[in-house]
């Protein structure tokens, strides 16, 4: 498919990287929001279209005719990391920023990220993710993420109206701003991770001693899934590819990551034939359901949250069991992350990679980053 004509070779300050696929319904709003960025410098907007089957590309080409900062690229693999790498390959900015089509960013997202990077003590600047509810189900999801039961040990989530301070992040990250050279030095996004690619790349940054921070003024909001099926699919995929990340980067596992797969195993064991195994599992599941029920009751008692509070009793188990069974499926597919498990349980330091892995953390599969489609060294 044809791309928009290459711009001049003049450098810009920031290149915004955005993979898109079948975004016809909201792409105009997405672009309009990006164009409102208040940044005292030059910006280009790079959109990698995954060969959309709707009018996404046509709309972007139309917008590019009006705004020379917009460029539309082709993304034949059709997944996110390939689109990010396709944009990174042609980016002219000293800095690059990932901005997703389903998220709404504050007007100083780019400015805040660049200003924080220029202090020189961090390599990755991100903002928290704040759910923007549009109905009772997505409000229940937002309520879930306001508690430890929903967010676990992740520091990436924020709450509407909540005062925040800058905080250190581990591999629980969402989008961000980087120096372009720093991303290139690490090989870009690994295209074996269609999901969880930011977490995998964050593990590489952290492995070389870099810092990743979340700054409050960069908090972005997004509309959560609005059905049990969509939420379950989202969290199952998260868990599946997190298992691959654990295998590749043992240090990326937190103890809280073990809770969902432990719940999934307990649920299976509660139906197992050996009675000695069955009753402790049933006790564990009952304790979990009691905790969920208490959380739902507290939420439903708040004025205006009765329905969402009731739905919380559905949302939390959906998140946990989908993530848990997804991670178990991922471990079956990619191998048991033994070093990650030993490290998370306090058994000692983890080595960088497991025997039989596709490569050590320095080997990144990013063919879309190269014009000839060759592998990354």
Rounded CA separation 237/243 (Å): 10
Higher-confidence residue of 263 and 220: namely: 263
pLDDT band at 70 (very low <50, low <70, confident <90, very high): very high
Q: Are 72 and 42 in contact (CB under 8 A)?
A: no
pTM: 0.88
Rounded CA separation 189/29 (Å): 27
Q: For the segment 94-122, what is each residue's pLDDT rounded down to a tens digit?
A: 999 999 988 889 999 999 999 999 999 99
Smallest CA-to-CA distance from 126 within 139, 136, 117 is with: 117
Smallest CA-to-CA distance from 48 within 3, 87, 96 is with: 87
Give me the pLDDT at residue 376, please: 35
Domain ranges in the chain are 12-132+155-223
Q: For the segment 248-275, what is each residue's pLDDT rounded down to a tens digit?
A: 999 999 899 999 999 999 999 998 887 7
CATH number for region 12-132+155-223? 3.90.550.10
Rounded CA separation 179/93 (Å): 9
CA distances from 127 to 143, 144, 155, 215, 219 (A): 19, 19, 10, 5, 4
Q: For the segment 146-184, what is each residue's pLDDT rounded down to a tens digit?
A: 777 877 656 555 555 455 689 899 888 889 999 999 999
Give me the pLDDT at residue 359, please: 40
Smallest CA-to-CA distance from 148 within 59, 300, 306, 254 is with: 254
Average pLDDT, the chain: 88
Please give the structure tokens belonging to residue 13. Answer: 């300050």
Ramachandran angles phi, psi of 319, nearest 5°: -60, -50
């Amino acid at each position: 498919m044809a791309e928009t004509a290459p711009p001049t070779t003049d450098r810009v300050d920031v290149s915004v990287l955005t993979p898109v696929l079948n975004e016809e319904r909201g792409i105009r709003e997405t672009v309009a929001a990006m164009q409102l960025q208040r940044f005292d410098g030059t910006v280009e907007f790079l959109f990698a279209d995954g060969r959309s089957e709707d009018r996404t590309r046509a709309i972007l080409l139309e917008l590019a005719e009006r705004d020379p900062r917009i460029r539309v690229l082709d993304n034949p693999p059709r997944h996110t990391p390939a689109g990010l790498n396709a944009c990174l390959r042609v980016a002219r900015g000293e800095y690059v920023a990932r901005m997703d089509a389903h998220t709404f960013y504050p007007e100083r997202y780019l400015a805040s990220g660049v200003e924080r990077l220029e202090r020189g003590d961090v390599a990755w600047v991100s903002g928290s993710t704040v759910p923007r509810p549009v109905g009772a189900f997505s409000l229940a999801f937002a309520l879930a993420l306001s508690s430890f039961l929903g967010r676990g040990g992740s520091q990436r989530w924020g709450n509407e109206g909540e005062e925040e301070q800058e905080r250190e992040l581990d591999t629980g990250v969402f989008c961000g701003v980087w120096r372009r050279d720093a991303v290139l030095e690490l090989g870009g996004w690994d295209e074996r991770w269609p999901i969880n690619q930011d977490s995998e790349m964050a593990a590489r940054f952290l492995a070389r001693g870099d810092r990743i921070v979340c700054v409050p003024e960069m908090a972005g909001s997004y509309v959560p899934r609005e059905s049990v099926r969509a939420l379950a699919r989202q969290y199952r995929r998260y868990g599946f590819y997190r298992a691959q990340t654990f295998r590749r980067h043992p240090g990326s596992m937190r103890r809280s990551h073990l809770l969902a797969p432990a719940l999934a195993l307990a649920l299976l064991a509660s139906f197992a034939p050996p009675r000695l195994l069955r009753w402790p599992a049933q006790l564990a599941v009952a304790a979990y359901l009691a905790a969920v029920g208490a959380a739902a009751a507290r939420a439903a008692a708040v004025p205006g949250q009765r329905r969402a509070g009731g739905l919380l009793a559905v949302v939390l188990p959906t998140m946990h069991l989908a993530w848990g069974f997804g991670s178990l499926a991922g471990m079956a597919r990619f191998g048991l992350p033994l070093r990650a498990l030993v490290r998370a349980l306090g058994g000692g330091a983890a080595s960088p990679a497991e025997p039989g892995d596709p490569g050590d953390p320095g080997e990144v599969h990013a063919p879309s980053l190269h014009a000839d489609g060759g592998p990354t060294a």
